[in-house]
Structure 1
Amino acid sequence: MRKIALKVAYIGTNYHGFQRQPDVPTVEGKLLEALEGAGIIEDPKKARFQIAGRTDRGVHALGNFVSFFTEEDIHVNQINDLLPRDIRVLAWASVMYPFKVRYPLERHYRYILHREESMDTDSMAEAAAHFRGTHDFSNFSRRRERDPVRRINDVRISEVGDSIIIDVYGESFLWQMVRKMVRALLMVSEGELAPDDMAGLLDTDRRVFLEPMPPENLILMDLKYGVKIKLRHDEYAFKRFISLLEEEFRLYREMSLVRRAMSDHLRDLQEHGLTD
């Protein structure tokens, strides 16, 4: 009996989050169906199946992890053949029994914003510095969290082309925490808050509601563990997933062009007067 860890990537658009839920499609549910269909596990409980982290509905991942026990050989393509195209096992590793997939040393999330001319990335970076360290993040999640204290190792703001990239690193995160952090940073960028106002938002005596940013722009990039995992990456799986991402990018770009043309036409009608 061996303990196996799988590195999983997925586009979260079509799923109600990662964790299994009754009567709705989830990433974990599809993954278990594939593992059972391939004969790698018979029952999640008997296999001691565990997940590293739950991502919300619509959130994507390039480096989520699961672990389980099995006596079967692992063939990544065999598993992927039973998965939808938007879920891929990218790599696998045989790990020691004490390995705990649920407790990485660090999680890396990335949020991507379309850059607007009015955005001030310098003020965003100044505000982001307040998140570093250990704080009570009650205002960045649900008030009923049992333990709202979290440690943020780093928050980095960068510009790439027409995008603003916000990379957040920490051991663990509360529900919607990253998306609410990004909301606060965006409010700073737009002048609704000052960078030093982040200290006030981290004050647990002051109740503040922050609307979380949309989940579609959030990616779980990777997990870092304290023990070295000798991952065996599958080149074919990478190739297929990259191909899907590029295919979707071309489709969305074409859809955007069509919508822009429709919008431009309606604006022309407005400018020249609407007639019956």
Structure 2
Amino acid sequence: MKNYKMVLAYDGTRYNGWQKQGNTENTIQEKLERILQEISGAETEVFGSGRTDAGTHATGQVMNFRINWNGTAEQLLDAFNAKLPEDIAAVSIAEMPPRFHSRLSAKAKHYSYSIWIGKHSPVFERKYTFRCTETLDVQAMRQAAAAFIGTHDFKSFCANKRMKKSTVRTIYDIVFEETEDKLTLHFYGNGFLYQMVRILTGTLIEVGEGKKNAGEAERILLAKSREQAGFTAPSRGLFLREVFYEDWKGGSEA
């Protein structure tokens, strides 16, 4: 039985997230497992590098699965893509050592969040950006973001208030990419808590709007209270961009 690593891109708009759920079959994991069963004739579990929320997108989600397959990896990729709906694509595939696991072997992840700051409605990007109608002080947002870089307890930025495991994570970098109409925040870290990127983004937006002071970022971290952080930005602006399997050295190569 071979262990394969597959990189996926998907538009999460119409799905109830990545993770298979008992009350719906409309998840990306469920759809992928059904396709693999059709291809192999056997039930096959897929393991994702992260459980993206309902409405969240990906250009570099990674999954692995074990399957009896006599053809080449490229033939398996083609068979997979032939059965996928138009809002999911298998980008690449590689046979991996037996111990490889898409989530447990990951060293770092790159998420991005896009904020529409243009004067007109984002007609063609409305499913992939959060429209902010207030003028944002991007310099203040950069100042606040600097406080989040490093190893911290991010309990204030976790939507799961019953979280029993450690909420300590390391953010390697937060990069701001700005055009006339769009501000995109790129988050690089060794792991992210439930809705952490969306809450960090909401907090930075509130700083940009003047609702919070840039100097409050450190206080919010130390408070370890979800109530102290900003709103949870909508899922439609969030993308899982890359998953890294080597020790973090910066840059953007997966």
Pick the TM interval, shorter chain: 0.7 to 0.9
Secondary structure of 1:14's counterpart equals coil
Asked whether the equivalents of residues 37 and 82 of structure 1 are also in contact (C-alpha less than 8 Å), the reply is no
- Equivalent residues in 2 for 1:176-215 (5 A)? 176-204=195-223, 207-208=227-228, 210-215=230-235
CA distance in 2, matches of 1:214, 1:200: 24
Correspondence for 1:31: 32
Correspondence for 2:113: 111
CA distance in 1, matches of 2:82, 2:14: 18
Correspondence for 1:265: none
Structure 1: runs of 5+ lacking an equivalent: 228-276
C-alpha RMSD of matched pairs (Å): 1.7
- Equivalent residues in 2 for 1:1-276 (5 A)? 1-22=1-22, 23-39=24-40, 42-44=42-44, 49-72=46-69, 73=71, 74=73, 75=75, 76-103=77-104, 104-115=106-117, 118-141=135-158, 142-146=160-164, 147-204=166-223, 207-208=227-228, 210-226=230-246
Change (3 A) 1:93 1:167: same
Q: Report the Cα offset of residue 205 of structure 1.
A: 5.3
Bigger Rg, structure 1 or 2: 1
Letter in 1 for 2:80: I
Under a length normalisation based on structure 2, what TM-score does the superposition of the two structures give? 0.83
CA distance in 2, matches of 1:32, 1:8: 14
CA distance in 2, matches of 1:113, 1:26: 26
Asked whether the equivalents of residues 17 and 57 of structure 1 are also in contact (C-alpha less than 8 Å), the reply is yes
Which has a greater percent of helix? Answer: 1
Change (3 A) 1:179 1:97: same
CA distance in 2, matches of 1:14, 1:157: 28
Pairs aligned (count): 223
Change (3 A) 1:32 1:205: closer
Structure 2: runs of 5+ lacking an equivalent: 118-132, 248-254
Q: Report the Cα offset of residue 87 of structure 1.
A: 0.9
Asked whether the equivalents of residues 206 and 230 of structure 2 are also in contact (C-alpha less than 8 Å), the reply is no
CA distance in 1, matches of 2:229, 2:148: 17
Secondary structure of 1:62's counterpart equals strand
